[in-house]
Structure 1
Amino acid sequence: MEKLNLNKTLNREPNEKPKEEIIFSQMPIIFWIIFVYIGALVLQNIQQALFLPSLFFSFILIVHALLYFFSRVFYKRNIWFYFVIQDCVLFASAFILPKGSPVVLIGLLPVLIAQSIVILKNNIKVTIFFILSYGLYCIAIVMNYGASELPIFISIFFVILIIVIFYTIIYNRQVSARLRMEFYLQQLELAYQKVEELTLLNERQRMARDLHDTLAQGLAGLIMQLEAVNVHIRNGNITRSNEIISRSMQQARDTLKDARTVIDNLRTESLDEIDFHSAVLDEIRKFEEVTAIYVEHKINPVHSLSNLSMEYGTYILRESLTNIAKHSEANKVRIKIEQKDGQLYMEISDNGIGFDTKNIGKQTGKYGLIGLQERVRLVGGKLLVESTPGKGTKLYITVPIG
């Protein structure tokens, strides 16, 4: 069975996020930076208009926004460099517009801290970055507004920080849930494709078995009968030849009927009721008529056998007898069928030439025992083959009753 190719997405864990799936949606944060920028300019210029510092402040906030927008570039290189530079940019902007510094620091530092929680994913690293950012915030407030105003600004800072972190956690869970859902949907689609492949393979194997059990076995029987006719004609036994030809014609009709039944089963997926005892006796009768090999049999009643097990049991017996006729050169066959320990038990033996069981499946064109093994396996049964060159062959088959 060929392995299905998995794309990179399916190789991820369900909680693993691609780099483009940053917890903070970039555009909302960019809009937030613009909003903070406008607020800082208004607050500063209402109290004291500063034209050149305002231009320089605009440049600094553009740098901050660009760094955020291209923050993915730093993920695999030096993420600490990104956070330190962002801290320095915000700290510098607080001194360019002193009166607007509270808006910048309170508006953007909590966002940067929350971003570090998502990206760094390490309590120690996040704590270090928080201490650094919080220290710069306190220094900027003290230098711009004095130490007496510090408690008020600290309170505001922590309120905003708690709100932003809470939003981050909620948003993080939503994104993680969506990514897990996408992952499982892709896995489900992959599993569905796998099931389709296995179903197709099973159908092909089933059709191969059905064709073998009907057309191949039927044609093999016809060939054996025609070979017998040829021998009798050479010996001048016309009467016997005509008898075999009549049986061959009937067998050809039966094979055609069986082939049509197989086709109908493939179309309708339904099984007809099978009289197992009668089917077994019919197979034995056909075998004796075609091969003139005597069959000693003991067929005990088997109760509560499912249709599938009955069908497969009949096929297994037919294939076993066909193998004996084609390869064993036997003149006597023993068949024993009974219900034992809740299972259908079949024992089929012959006094033919036997073979080396190590060669099963290795001879080109000889797949009878392989077909038997597949049939038995499909109904949850077991097959044991005992054979020694010159000492005949024994098959022990058990099939579940239900």
Structure 2
Amino acid sequence: MKVQDHFEVLNYNTSVLKMPFTIAHVLITLILTILISVNDAPTSNIVLFILGSVLFSVLHWMGSWLFKRFSTFYLIVQLVIIFGVAMLVSDFGIILLIVYGGTLVAQSFYLYNSAKRFVAFLVLYIGSVIFMLSILYGQEKYDYAIFIFVISMLFILLGFATFNQKEVENRQLQLANKRIEALTKQNERQRMARNLHDSLIQ
């Protein structure tokens, strides 16, 4: 199956993925709020972090609708939110870049119906994250942060590839079953027509 065909088959509603990602967002937000509170972060940073996380999740829920109307603007706003909240929790920013970024990558995978556009977004995101990690972690932790990010993204992309291959196979199986059902009905009609014709001749 060609890559373009794969994307066309996956053109379906992303509502199945919204709840698991939202649960992950809530858990990460709670855990990081506790961690940055323990590290004596300013209250304004904590409040902005929570507001940014809530805004990211709300936009994620509205993603299908927003993406159809403002695809580029939607992705830019989501990237700015991700990088903004990562800056607020600088020591734990890589966690947000992986979880929220993974969410955005998954969402763009389903919302783009083009392999080229998805790959272009993925390259833009990874390039932006590499730049962001250099700001967050400096030279001494940069290599370690890049390694963690790359390994995490590989796992995320491998997970989506596996999940999506199963989705494609399920869709193909459903189409084959519909074709078999249609052929069976057509054969039954032809058999009944022959029987009726034979009985009328006698």
Coarse TM-score class (shorter-chain normalised): 0.7 to 0.9
Runs of 5+ unmatched residues, structure 2: 1-5
**CA–CA separation in structure 1 for the residues paired with 2:169 and 2:160:** 14
Q: Indicate the residue corresponding to 1:151 in structure 2.
A: 143
Q: Specify the code of the residue in structure 2 equivalent to 1:198.
A: Q
Deviations 1:10-58 (A, max 9, x none): xxx9x724522x4972221111222222232233222223333222222
Shift of 1:159: 0.4
Q: Given the alignment of the two structures, is residue 179 of structure 1 paired with residue 171 of structure 2, yes or no?
A: yes
Q: Indicate the residue corresponding to 1:16 in structure 2.
A: 9
Q: Indicate the residue corresponding to 2:74 in structure 1.
A: 82
Shift of 1:75: 4.8
Q: Given the alignment of the two structures, is residue 195 of structure 1 paired with residue 187 of structure 2, yes or no?
A: yes
5 Å-filtered alignment, 1:246-257, equals none
Q: Specify the code of the residue in structure 2 equivalent to 1:60.
A: G
Deviations 1:309-337 (A, max 9, x none): xxxxxxxxxxxxxxxxxxxxxxxxxxxxx
Shift of 1:113: 2.6
Q: Specify the code of the residue in structure 2 equivalent to 1:36.
A: I
Partner of 1:25, secondary structure, is: helix
Identity of aligned residues (%): 15
Which aligned segments of 4 or more residues in structure 1 are displaced greater than 4 angstroms?
none
Query: Which among 53, 56, 69 is matched to residue 61 of structure 1?
Result: 53
5 Å-filtered alignment, 1:345-364, equals none
TM-score by length of 2: 0.82
Q: Indicate the residue corresponding to 1:313 in structure 2.
A: none
Is the Cα–Cα contact under 8 Å of residues 44 and 98 in structure 1 kept in the other structure? no
Q: Indicate the residue corresponding to 1:102 in structure 2.
A: 94
Q: Indicate the residue corresponding to 2:3 in structure 1.
A: none
Is the Cα–Cα contact under 8 Å of residues 23 and 171 in structure 1 kept in the other structure? no
Q: Given the alignment of the two structures, is residue 44 of structure 1 paired with residue 36 of structure 2, yes or no?
A: yes
Is the Cα–Cα contact under 8 Å of residues 106 and 160 in structure 1 kept in the other structure? yes
Is the Cα–Cα contact under 8 Å of residues 120 and 126 in structure 1 kept in the other structure? yes
Shift of 1:131: 3.4
Call closer, same or farther: CA 1:200–1:81 in 2, change over 3 Å.
Answer: farther
**CA–CA separation in structure 2 for the residues paired with 1:197 and 1:114:** 46
Q: Specify the code of the residue in structure 2 equivalent to 1:19.
A: Y
Q: Given the alignment of the two structures, is residue 209 of structure 1 paired with residue 174 of structure 2, yes or no?
A: no
Call closer, same or farther: CA 1:207–1:78 in 2, change over 3 Å.
Answer: farther
Is the Cα–Cα contact under 8 Å of residues 11 and 113 in structure 2 kept in the other structure? no
**CA–CA separation in structure 2 for the residues paired with 1:61 and 1:67:** 10
| Higher-helix-fraction structure | 2
Deviations 1:113-157 (A, max 9, x none): 344344435454334323332233233333333232211111000
Deviations 1:272-321 (A, max 9, x none): xxxxxxxxxxxxxxxxxxxxxxxxxxxxxxxxxxxxxxxxxxxxxxxxxx
Runs of 5+ unmatched residues, structure 1: 1-12, 211-402
Q: Specify the code of the residue in structure 1 equivalent to 2:170.
A: R
Q: Indicate the residue corresponding to 1:31 in structure 2.
A: 23
Query: Which among 139, 163, 169 is matched to residue 161 of structure 2?
Result: 169
**CA–CA separation in structure 1 for the residues paired with 2:130 and 2:11:** 35
Q: Specify the code of the residue in structure 2 equivalent to 1:99.
A: D
Call closer, same or farther: CA 1:51–1:108 in 2, change over 3 Å.
Answer: same
Q: Given the alignment of the two structures, is residue 129 of structure 1 paired with residue 100 of structure 2, yes or no?
A: no
Q: Indicate the residue corresponding to 1:92 in structure 2.
A: 84
Deviations 1:238-263 (A, max 9, x none): xxxxxxxxxxxxxxxxxxxxxxxxxx
Deviations 1:163-207 (A, max 9, x none): 000000000011111122222222222222222222222222111
Is the Cα–Cα contact under 8 Å of residues 40 and 103 in structure 1 kept in the other structure? no
**CA–CA separation in structure 2 for the residues paired with 1:29 and 1:156:** 20
C-alpha RMSD of matched pairs (Å): 2.6
Larger Rg: 1
Is the Cα–Cα contact under 8 Å of residues 37 and 58 in structure 1 kept in the other structure? yes
**CA–CA separation in structure 1 for the residues paired with 2:27 and 2:104:** 16
| Higher-strand-fraction structure | 1
5 Å-filtered alignment, 1:286-305, equals none
Is the Cα–Cα contact under 8 Å of residues 102 and 153 in structure 2 kept in the other structure? yes
Q: Specify the code of the residue in structure 2 equivalent to 1:204.
A: L
Partner of 1:146, secondary structure, is: helix
Is the Cα–Cα contact under 8 Å of residues 98 and 144 in structure 1 kept in the other structure? yes
